[in-house]
Amino acid sequence: MDKKNQDIWVGMAHKNNDPALVEAAGKEFVELPIIEALSDDKIAEVPANRRDFLKYLGFGLGAATIAAGCDVPVKRAIPYVTKPDEIVPGVATYYASSFVKGGDYCAVLVKTREGRPIKIEGNVLSPLTKGGTSARAQASVLELYDVNRVKNPGAVGENGVVTKMSWADLDKTIGGKLNASSNIRIVTNTVLSPTAKKAFAEFIVKYPNAKVVTYDPISASGMLEANERSFGDRVIPDYHFDKASTIVSFGADFLGTWISPIEYASAYAKGRKINPKRPKMSRHIQVESGMSLTGSNADNRVLIRPSEMGAAIATLYSALGGSVSAPKLNNKATAAISKVAEQLRGSRGNSLVVSASNNVMEQIMVNKINEMLGNLGSTITFTHASLQRQGIDSEIQGLISEMQGGGVDAVMVLDANPAFDLYNSDKFITAFAKVPLKVSLSYDLNETMALCDYTAPNHHFLESWGDAEPKRGHLSIIQPTISPLFPTRQAEASLLVWSGSANYKASAEQPYYEYLKTSWNGFFGQQSNYASFRSFWDEALHDGVAKLGISEREYGTVAATVNIGQITSPSNAEVEIAFLESINIGAGQYANNPWLMEMPDPVTRTSWGNYLGVPVSFDGAHSFVGYKGIGQSMVKGYADVVNLTRAGAEEGDRITAFPQFGQPEGSVATNLGYGRKICGGAGRNVGTNMFPYLSADANGNTQYFATNVAVSDIVDINYDFPCVQYHHTLGVTAKNEAGETINADEAALVDFTYGVVDQGYQGSLTNRSVIYHTNINELSEFTKELGHKREEAQALNAQSLYPGHEYLYENGHHWGMYVDLNACTGCSACTVACMAENNVPVVGAKEVSRHHEMTWLRIDRYFYGDVESPNTVYQPMMCQHCDNAPCENVCPVAATNHSSEGLNQMAYNRCVGTRYCANNCPYKVRRFNWLDYTTADIFPANQIDLNEEEIPYGADNLTRMVLNPDVTVRSRGVIEKCSFCVQRIQEGKLTAKREARKLRDQDVKTACQTACPTGAIVFGDLNNKEGELHKSLDHNPLVYIALEEINVLSSVNYTAVVNNRDEALDA
Amino acid sequence: MNITTIPKMKHFLPLVLLFFCGSLLAQAPNLAEGKALFRNNCASCHNKSMKDDMTGPALGGVEERWEGKEALLYDWIRNSTAVIESGDEYAVSLFNTWNKSKMTAFPNLTDEQIASVLGYIDDVYVNGPAVVNGGGDPIPGEKGDEAGLSTSFFVVLFLILAILAVALARIISNLNRMAEMKEGGKPGQVATLKDILTSRGVIGFLVFALVIIGGFTTVNNAINLGRQQGYAPDQPIKFSHALHAGQQQIDCQYCHDGARRSKHSVIPATNTCMNCHKAIKKGSLDGTAEISKIYASIGYDPNTDTYMENYEEMTNEEIKPIFIKYATETFKKDNATVAKYADSESKLTRDADEEAEKQWKGIVASLTNPSKEKVSGAIEWERIHNLPDHVYFNHAQHVSVGKLQCQTCHGPVEKMEVVQQYAPLSMGWCINCHRQTEVQFASNEYYEQYETYHKELKSGKRETVTVEDIGGLECQKCHY
């Protein structure tokens, strides 16, 4: 066994040829350990045993018989009294708005049905996000219908319980406690809204001693300060990833979480999509210590321990000619970085170096590096600088000491949660308690809100008016899409009311709307496209975005000087830990969103918690071992639990650990944001809170790693590990007892002792075409080889089991899809979009650990290449809509069958749940409803499994408002799967028919396609020769079909992955 | 394409049916076509019996009435307006007799098609409805043609077999007795009725019959579970479609404006009613009693002809005097000249008060329910057409694209005082219609996608393209 190989693998058990994996992969449905379930102490609480079941059954039969003799219940049809002009029941209305949460921003279109927002789409008119979305933006609509929202203004009791008050009473109470000289602090995360800032300013006019304290839980404070010192401008520059041919990122997860990931991913993908005729792609080198989404997309990763980040930057700086003596870095990284420096020099002016470091001096060095490389003004500009991070760590730290000293009279907390997401939250909490008046303006239940005296709950953004300026000169509108569900009030409005602003006319029908409009009157003068304010405003409201003419700002030189003494010095600790912002739930702000909780982390493939990624090492002879032997039983759905301790803590945290390829030796990594204590039901006590592990550097900026930790040996086993890595595996090869390569997912078909054939079982291939990958330098050879392989596969397919069945589809439509794996970054926006569009249920951690996740679209993650620092492929895998579908042939009731448009149809009301189809699906994309996940009529016996919620997620009436009325809500006992968004196909066709014209590409777009920030998914009619799909596939030598050799004639095409890895960096 | 398991059965099935149905199926092919055309195009206005009038006249004997002017009849069917304008005496008199309502034009029907419709009409008129296809039930899928046929067929068969069985049993028992007598023994006792009824054979047969009939009934009822053809509940307002759509000729889609652009046809909002009822304040049937309910729902004060401010906040007690006043005054005004009140002012007042109180009770009863205490707000109609949740149906597809008449599915609503569910709304009914209905292929550029069909139509290889041909029977056209 070699450390380096060209195989693809999904995890350590696969690499190690674990017999348990071979056995498990052969089964579509995992065999759940029944004995364990019975020994589960919860079983005693189950109110229904077998006898009860029989009673229910008997009663059910009886009831059904009686019901059969009765009339159908009366249903009511309730029309409007006065129908709003813009609503036609049954037809969706879209509103342009903006998703904003702290510094996270996405221009969106909100789809509403009968006045209910049900789906978020990207807004293509936005010059930033260009129609792309993120998983967080997609999931934000569910937050609107969160049952745990703060629903009333009032006084806050223990654990955030609110004693109701009227708004008038609350305003009176708070107004009575404030006076002109009060030292008031407004604590917020980054505020993008210029109008909100005007409201703050008015508040400060009334209370001159008031101050706004801005911080970000995942801070860019060091960078902002560095830029202020370098350029005199405290902003995040405008990065142009599309213009860079060499991208070096020091720990910046710009595709997943850093600053503006949607914008960056879209630009980045432009440099990564391959035109085989003129092969050219950017080279991306990631220097990091925990495998981030961005790192997994990189061509080369330079592995460092977290404390070596400063040293790594300094090494590059000095290699490029900076006059510093860099601290010692590990040898391999030192060598690699000197080669990186060479490459950067070679692409002067079109390279880009970014860093997520929160150390001022390290960021100044990064600025110096970009200056030396001539990137300032080319790949880094400042005119449209980003305002998406504005928080300064020292401000909130200053507030803590101020509060501790008793100098603060009142604190208003606006959508921030410092009692959870600061490294010294404990200090904040004690200091906060000394403030006489504490008011929360958040709409969600959180740790800080629970410590406040009063709550003045904010609207959700889908209920609000507002604006955002994510980048200088780029404005964006937030408009309400539904009347407030609860008696909440916009936070800005609350501040304006308390400040008694004359500009805020509380008696108006929509006072904050008037205020916003007045505020925008000021922007009208800054643009020249519209002659009247009315047209400017109307157009902005329609488009959702507006652009202002602003003066150019460019900085060519870096004013600051480098003082190497101020960077982090590498530690000698045995093990260090790196903390990453979770793609799913950020720093905890999104923790109460079941869609995001259930979405597997793209890199680790885990859901419902944060887990400790430990390095994998090769023993030199046989196998790969997780640090301290961790990860041996993962394939069975178990995982090892270790004790993680930090110096100074009384006791450690028990945390589930798993082996993570690409994790540097001597380091471990995990996600931040989990372990919320006061939160809605979905996020409460899920995972471990890592914020107490953080510390600050000499400048008071939070550092996202820790050196003072110890990882124990395995102390326990987690039997409910919700990791989907080994669920629904396909094309997994393994070695049988005789040492022959076999298809693990066919192993169950044949007796081991019988395995004498050398290629898989029953003469099948082991060389399965699941993923193809190559290096850009070998592209021409590779395309030839791929051509041969496809020819071979097609030759194998010449013999059909169904002679005479030809799939011509020359008449009408033939739906197909193209997924560009070079553009796919694995960000998972599509998986959440699919859940939202298709009413896919959330099943909870326990059910996920039992392989019961219901996602129609999953993103398979494969590694290949160097085991210590592998390359990664993300493969969105959905129903492939095979023309020769193996699922169809085995259905005894023809519940799944083929349409004349090439769709593999699923009729739920016909399905009897034999699951033969899922067993026969080579792509493992069919899902079975083991429980009635979305409706409330389930047996109480099943409910204990659903994360101890009394009713399962999504079964209450408020949450059910998010359901798409055009898609059936499936019940227990039926199979479901991707339908290519057939409801959208039908809708698009109907639009074309009604307008009596041909169907156009833009009429039908699937939910995953519209969600994708990089345009990796193209859906369309294969019969439309002018369509985008046809153009993408036509004569593209990189296109392949997954498992083409098994003759299922799938309708989804993938591109082979091309990397631009430089082997020299590995040496 | 790949509904694989039954292709062979497909060929076999008609043979089996033919075998069972025998000569009953023999008929001229154009009658079947005529029947289909009649159902799709004519049945919504013309009575299927051909002997009674409906929205349009009874069609029996139509050819005799147009004797000598066949060409004109064909023109009339394609476009009656043109014929009327041409001044044909009979055409004009027909037009006037039928309240000057125009017959829907069918410009696309070919001569052959019209001939087969006329053939079918004549056939039904002369021979009665049973002959064509045995059943002659005009609603597709209601019972299924074969089912109707085989029921009567099997009843006859059953009777014949039963008589045969009884006869054979008698013969056997007689023979047995004769044989016993021949052998010299005493003749066996003649079985009493009790013996016969308690014999194993009879009991066995009865159990068998019970199982079969019970099973049949159970399955049949199970299939019909949740279906409510003919469902005609009382509505909160006695809204008469016969008056609005029939007599007043208001277009269906004036009120049900969702039908052309949405999946829902949409129950009109109260403000749609107000478009007319701001002016028409008294109904021809119920006076102010029913129309006041509209006002009470939306907050329109009929005394002053204004909408009331903050109506939603008003309690029922605050609202009551407004409608009491209106009803009292209207009653008094209407009855001021009535003879019986001529000399008794107090009697008039008393009756007016009584009437007003009655009307208010009606308003409260209609507009409130346990979950809605106030009369203000939406009128909660009883929903008649209920499709299961797993069925996707889109009105716009059928009305705007398929250009179907509302009556095709909803029946002669313009004749219904109380609306009822006309069609069974079963899947078989949907499917049958999709099998028979032609797609509006020629007039819609969208269908240019279907190149093969266009070629086949041109070359004459294909005569029609039905909804089935473009995938109208596939599961995911309606279930997703």
Q: Provide the sign of the torsion angle of the four alpha carbons A1042, A1045, A1050, A1052, taken in this order.
A: positive
Q: How many CB pairs under 8 A join A and B?
A: 176
Put simply, the answer to whether A80 touches B475 (Cβ < 8 Å) is no
A630 close to A658: Cβ distance less than 8 angstroms: yes
A1006 close to A985: Cβ distance less than 8 angstroms: no
Q: Are strands A351-355 and A246-250 parallel, antiparallel or unpaired?
A: parallel
Q: Which of B2, B270, B388 sits opposite A888 (nearest CB)?
A: B2
Instruction: Quote the radius of gyration of chain B (alpha carbons, Å).
Output: 31
B residues 397-436 lying closer than 8 A (beta carbon) to A? 397, 400-401
Look up residue B157 and give its amino acid.
Answer: L
Residue A888 DSSP label: H
Residue with tokens 């304006």: A496
Instruction: Quote the radius of gyration of chain A (alpha carbons, Å).
Output: 29
Put simply, the answer to whether B479 touches A907 (Cβ < 8 Å) is yes
pLDDT tens string B255-279: 998 999 999 999 999 999 998 898 8
Distance CA A593, CA A585 (A): 8
Residues of B in Cβ contact (< 8 Å) with A908: 390, 479
Residues of A in Cβ contact (< 8 Å) with B266: 79, 88-90
Q: Which of B2, B453, B480 sits opposite A968 (nearest CB)?
A: B480
Residue A118 pLDDT grade (very low, low, confident, very high; cuts 50, 70, 90): very high
To probe the interface with B, which of A86, A884, A994 has the most B CB atoms within 10 Å?
Answer: A994
Put simply, the answer to whether B383 touches A76 (Cβ < 8 Å) is yes
Nearest C-alpha neighbor of B295 from the set B265, B313, B315, B320: B320
- The percent of residues in chain B predicted with pLDDT above 70, rounded, is 86
Sheet containing A466-471: which strands, arranged edge to edge? A236-239, A380-386, A466-471, A474-478, A545-547
Min distance A810 CA to chain B CA atoms (Å): 7
The residue extents of the domains of chain B are: 3-191, 268-375, 426-480
Residue B400 DSSP label: I
Please, which residues bridge with residue A248 across strands? A285, A353
Put simply, the answer to whether A83 touches B2 (Cβ < 8 Å) is no
pLDDT tens string B43-53: 656 777 787 77
Put simply, the answer to whether A88 touches B268 (Cβ < 8 Å) is no
Q: Which of A80, A89, A899 sits opposite B476 (nearest CB)?
A: A899
In a 13 Å sphere around the CA of A737, the CA atoms on its Cβ side amount to 8
Residues of A in Cβ contact (< 8 Å) with B268: 79
Q: What totals of helices (H) and strands (E) does chain A contain, helices first? A: 30, 46
Look at residue B101 in the predicted model and tell me its pLDDT. 67
Min distance A905 CA to chain B CA atoms (Å): 6
Look at residue A729 in the predicted model and tell me its pLDDT. 80
Look at residue A992 in the predicted model and tell me its pLDDT. 94
Residues of B in Cβ contact (< 8 Å) with A63: none
- Closest residue of chain A to B381, computed from CA coordinates: A77
Q: Which of A889, A901, A986 sits opposite B4 (nearest CB)?
A: A889
Q: Which of A89, A888, A966 sits opposite B258 (nearest CB)?
A: A89
Sheet containing A1052-1055: which strands, arranged edge to edge? A1017-1021, A815-819, A1052-1055, A1039-1040
Chain centre to alpha carbon of residue A437: 37
Nearest C-alpha neighbor of A976 from the set B388, B393, B4, B480: B480
Distance CA A600, CA A607 (A): 5
DSSP H/E element including A617: strand A616-618
Min distance B471 CA to chain A CA atoms (Å): 6
Q: How far is CA A248 from CA A356, A389, A769, in A?
A: 11, 21, 32
Residue with tokens 């391959």: A274
**A164-170 contacts: CB < 8 A, separation 24 or more?**
A165/A454, A167/A456, A167/A487, A167/A489, A170/A454, A170/A456
- The CA-based angle A984-A987-A993, given to 5 degrees, is 140
pLDDT tens string A927-960: 999 887 876 444 443 444 444 445 556 677 788 8
Does residue B1 belong to the interface with chain A, where contact is any CB pair within 8 Å? yes
Q: Which of A888, A968, A1023 sits opposite B389 (nearest CB)?
A: A968
Look up residue B270 and give its amino acid.
Answer: T
In a 13 Å sphere around the CA of A799, the CA atoms on its Cβ side amount to 2
Put simply, the answer to whether A72 touches B228 (Cβ < 8 Å) is yes
Min distance A248 CA to chain B CA atoms (Å): 46
Distance CA B313, CA A485 (A): 19
Q: Is A476 strand, coil or helix? A: strand
Distance CA A355, CA A302 (A): 14
pLDDT reading at B138 higher than 80: no
Put simply, the answer to whether B450 touches A83 (Cβ < 8 Å) is no
Q: How far is CA A629 from CA A226, A625, A688, A869, in A?
A: 42, 6, 22, 19
Distance CA A83, CA A335 (A): 70
To probe the interface with A, which of B5, B294, B446 has the most A CB atoms within 10 Å?
Answer: B446
Does residue B9 belong to the interface with chain A, where contact is any CB pair within 8 Å? no
pLDDT tens string A960-997: 889 999 999 888 889 999 999 999 999 999 999 999 99
Put simply, the answer to whether A908 touches B450 (Cβ < 8 Å) is no
Nearest C-alpha neighbor of B48 from the set B130, B114, B103: B130
Put simply, the answer to whether B2 touches A986 (Cβ < 8 Å) is no
Indicate whether this complex's ipTM tops 0.90: no
pLDDT reading at B198 higher than 80: yes
Q: Is A602 strand, coil or helix? A: coil
Put simply, the answer to whether A88 touches B261 (Cβ < 8 Å) is yes
pLDDT tens string A854-863: 999 999 999 9
A501 close to A514: Cβ distance less than 8 angstroms: no
Does residue B235 belong to the interface with chain A, where contact is any CB pair within 8 Å? no
pLDDT reading at A621 higher than 80: no
Put simply, the answer to whether B383 touches A77 (Cβ < 8 Å) is yes
Residue B413 DSSP label: G
Distance CA A964, CA A121 (A): 14
Nearest C-alpha neighbor of A659 from the set A732, A607, A723: A723
Does residue B5 belong to the interface with chain A, where contact is any CB pair within 8 Å? yes
Does residue B229 belong to the interface with chain A, where contact is any CB pair within 8 Å? no
A876 close to A819: Cβ distance less than 8 angstroms: yes
Min distance B132 CA to chain A CA atoms (Å): 34
Look at residue A634 in the predicted model and tell me its pLDDT. 78
Nearest C-alpha neighbor of A524 from the set A512, A515, A510, A535: A535
Average pLDDT taken over every residue of chain B? 82
Q: Is A379 strand, coil or helix? A: coil
Distance CA A834, CA A465 (A): 28
Look at residue B43 in the predicted model and tell me its pLDDT. 66
Look at residue A805 in the predicted model and tell me its pLDDT. 66
Q: Which of A74, A813, A993 sits opposite B444 (nearest CB)?
A: A993
**Which is more confidently placed, B465 or B127?**
B465
Q: How many CB atoms lie within 10 A of CB A898?
A: 24
pLDDT tens string B380-434: 999 999 888 889 999 999 999 999 999 999 999 999 999 999 999 999 999 999 9
Average pLDDT taken over every residue of chain A? 88
Out of A370-379, A507-516, A589-598, B19-28, least confident range: B19-28
Put simply, the answer to whether A990 touches B394 (Cβ < 8 Å) is yes
Residue A108 DSSP label: E
Q: Is A948 strand, coil or helix? A: coil
Look at residue A3 in the predicted model and tell me its pLDDT. 52
Residue A756 pLDDT grade (very low, low, confident, very high; cuts 50, 70, 90): very low
Min distance A961 CA to chain B CA atoms (Å): 16
Q: How many CB atoms lie within 10 A of CB B299?
A: 22
- Closest residue of chain A to B379, computed from CA coordinates: A78
- Closest residue of chain B to A971, computed from CA coordinates: B390
Q: How far is CA B331 from CA A85, B288, B338, in A?
A: 37, 9, 11
Residues of B in Cβ contact (< 8 Å) with A967: 480
Distance CA B172, CA B183 (A): 16
Look at residue A946 in the predicted model and tell me its pLDDT. 44
Left, alpha or beta for A864 (phi > 0: left; psi -120 to 50: alpha)?
A: beta
Q: Which of B222, B271, B445 sits opposite A68 (nearest CB)?
A: B222
Per-residue pLDDT, averaged over A164-173, amounts to 94
Does residue B254 belong to the interface with chain A, where contact is any CB pair within 8 Å? no
Min distance B456 CA to chain A CA atoms (Å): 11
Residue B219 burial (CB < 10 Å; 0-12/13-18/19+)?
exposed
Q: Which of B298, B389, B445 sits opposite A82 (nearest CB)?
A: B298
- Closest residue of chain B to A969, computed from CA coordinates: B390
pLDDT tens string B310-369: 898 899 999 999 999 999 998 888 887 877 777 778 888 888 899 999 999 999 999 998
CATH architecture entry for B3-191: Orthogonal Bundle (1.10)
Residue A764 pLDDT grade (very low, low, confident, very high; cuts 50, 70, 90): low
Distance CA A944, CA A886 (A): 36
Per-residue pLDDT, averaged over A308-323, amounts to 93
Does residue B234 belong to the interface with chain A, where contact is any CB pair within 8 Å? no
- The CA-based angle B186-B189-B195, given to 5 degrees, is 155
Look at residue A963 in the predicted model and tell me its pLDDT. 92
A961 close to A836: Cβ distance less than 8 angstroms: no
What residues have CB less than 8 Å from B270, skipping those under 6 apart? A79, A80, A81, A82, B294, B297, B298, B378, B379
Look at residue B334 in the predicted model and tell me its pLDDT. 85
What residues have CB less than 8 Å from A386, skipping those under 6 apart? A235, A236, A237, A238, A259, A260, A470, A471
Min distance B447 CA to chain A CA atoms (Å): 7
Distance CA A116, CA A136 (A): 19
pTM: 0.84
Per-residue pLDDT, averaged over A529-540, amounts to 93
